[in-house]
Amino acid sequence: MNRSLTTIFLLLILSGCKYQEKKTSQIFEQVNSKNKTVTNEDLLDSVKLGINFKPNQNYSALKRTILSDKVHFKNQFSTHPEKTIDSVSKYLYHKLVNELVPHWYNTTWDFNGYTNIPKEGDIACGYFVSTTLKHLGFNLNRYKMAQQAGLNEAKTLQENSKLKVFSNLSFKSLKNKLNTSYNDGIFFVGLDNHVGYVLIKGKEIYFLHSSYYDDKVMIELAEYSPCFESNIYVFAEITTNKVLVKKWILNEKLEVPNT
């Protein structure tokens, strides 16, 4: 690893979800360089994207349903492990994107936010990820995970050798590398000073996060997100990660590394 990359990597280790001054001029220039006026809402079509933006059931009941389904999948796993892992991968994608997260949209961001209830109180970027994963049925300490730098959060979800790290890339180059490396799915991403989920769908890259720029939980095209600008990106697989999916099925604890 060369000196410049080592420096960036150390910054990622030391930094977590930190507030940045809103980059109004940068996003203005980015949008106008494409000769059109763009808002996040204009760029997303829920029908075309194939995901739900609005909650459709009670949140507490949803969490109970997930725990019940988990028991079913564990029983199924004992006789059909590979088939069960494939089924659970799809299940986790659907439950997170279409059922859990819609409750969290527009929950307010705050650097110190750690609410456990969507739209009640504030939520920081790290807590948004750890809390929704906890509610999705993963056995983890949401406080300990959220208080880590992005690199350690990624290591909680996937072994270090399987993580993918990209640095000093244009968005176009990063997008090409992601589409070469991954299939459609949900991924964790750690940036210089922010974390969130990346949704890859049909070669497009979406950023799902608690935004310090818009002060709320939202999903947007990563290309137009000022919060997605970073010198370094660390990716960990979630729904495409068979080892992690198996841990969910068997309720194995996700250990947060010390360093």
Give tens-digit pLDDT for 42-79: 568 777 788 889 999 899 999 999 999 999 999 999 99
Question: What's the whole-model pTM score?
Answer: 0.86
CA distance 236 to 117: 25
Mean pLDDT is lowest, of 22-36, 179-193, 219-233, for 22-36
Q: What is the pLDDT of residue 3?
A: 45
Task: Return the closest-CA partner of residue 147 out of 101, 113, 121.
Answer: 113
pLDDT in tens, 82-120: 999 999 999 999 999 999 999 999 999 999 999 999 999
- Rounded to the nearest angstrom, the gap between the alpha carbon of residue 217 and the centroid of all alpha carbons in its chain is 11
As given in the structure block, the two tokens for residue 219 are 């999903």
Lookup: tokens for 41:
């809402």
Determine how β-strand 185-190 pairs with β-strand 195-201. antiparallel
Q: Collect all residues with Cβ–Cβ distance below 8 Å to 26 and sequence separation of at least 6.
A: 226, 229
CATH number for domain 57-250, candidates 3.40.50.300, 3.40.50.1980, 3.90.1720.10, 3.40.640.10: 3.90.1720.10
Q: Is the dihedral of CA 183, 188, 192, 193 positive or negative?
A: positive
CB 239 within 8 A of CB 89: yes
Q: How far apart are CA 82 and CA 231, in angstroms?
A: 38
* Strands 185-190 and 122-123, bridge-based pairing: unpaired
